[in-house]
């Protein structure tokens, strides 16, 4: 491998870069989008009806996983799953959570785009994030 020359170049130490990363995180934590997301996430975690609706939907999804993968649900199973999903996502606290999450994602995407453009690497992809997070 060819050696690179680092003399005459001012290098930022890893601790300096990590400090800049912490400052970046602190600035992001102060944005209205992040604060709204934290509040919505807390309200969602505390809301018993929303948690029960989520649990019911996830349990049904889990029990039908094999059939879902084969796309082999009966009409009744499909309807039941849709009903449970709807019962979950129509909870006001859940809708608020999704809205706050989407607004924070928009901000994070703008920041990620700025980072990617400047450093010449796709930030999310480089950090190993797939479409499923």
Partner 1 sequence: MQTVLNPSMQEAADALIGNLLASEAFVRCQQAHARLNEDRHRQAHTLLEQLSQAQADLRKKQANSGVIQTEIDNLRTLQEQVQHNNVIMTYAQTQQEAVNFLREINDEISQLLGINFASFANHTTC
Residues of this chain that interact with partner 1 (CB under 8 A) are: 1-2, 4-6, 9-12, 14, 16-18, 20-31, 34, 104-115, 118-121, 123-133
Please list, in sequence order, all residues whose beta carbon lies within 8 angstroms of the beta carbon of residue 21, skipping any fewer than 6 positions away: none
Task: List, in order, residues 6 or more apart from 87 with CB less than 8 Å away.
Answer: 53, 56, 57
Measured between alpha carbons, how far is 114 from 122 in angstroms, rounded to an integer? Answer: 10
Separation between Cα atoms, residue 103 and residue 32, nearest integer Å: 10
CB of 103 to partner 1, least distance (A): 10
- Closer Cβ to partner 1, 72 or 119, answer by number: 119
75 or 131, CB closer to partner 1? 131
C-beta of 126: minimal distance to partner 1 in Å?
A: 5
| 26 versus 70: smaller Cβ distance to partner 1 | 26
**What is residue 8's DSSP assignment?**
T
Shortest approach of partner 1 to residue 97 CB, angstroms?
13
Shortest distance in whole angstroms from residue 21 CB to partner 1: 4
Nearer to partner 1, 42 or 92 (CB): 42
Which residues are CB-neighbours of 111 under 8 A, at least 6 positions away? 28
């Amino acid at each position: 491998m060819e050696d690179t020359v680092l003399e005459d170049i001012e290098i930022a130490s890893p601790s300096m870069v990590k400090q800049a990363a912490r400052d970046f995180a602190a600035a992001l934590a102060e944005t209205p989008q992040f604060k709204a997301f934290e509040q919505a996430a807390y309200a969602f975690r505390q809301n018993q009806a929303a948690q029960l609706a989520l649990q019911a939907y996830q349990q049904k999804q889990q029990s039908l996983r094999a059939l879902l993968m084969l796309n082999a649900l009966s009409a009744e199973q499909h309807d039941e799953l849709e009903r449970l999903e709807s019962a979950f996502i129509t909870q006001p606290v859940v809708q608020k959570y999704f809205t706050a999450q989407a607004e924070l994602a928009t901000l994070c995407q703008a920041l990620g785009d700025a980072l990617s453009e400047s450093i010449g690497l796709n930030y999310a992809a480089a950090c190993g994030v797939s479409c499923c997070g």
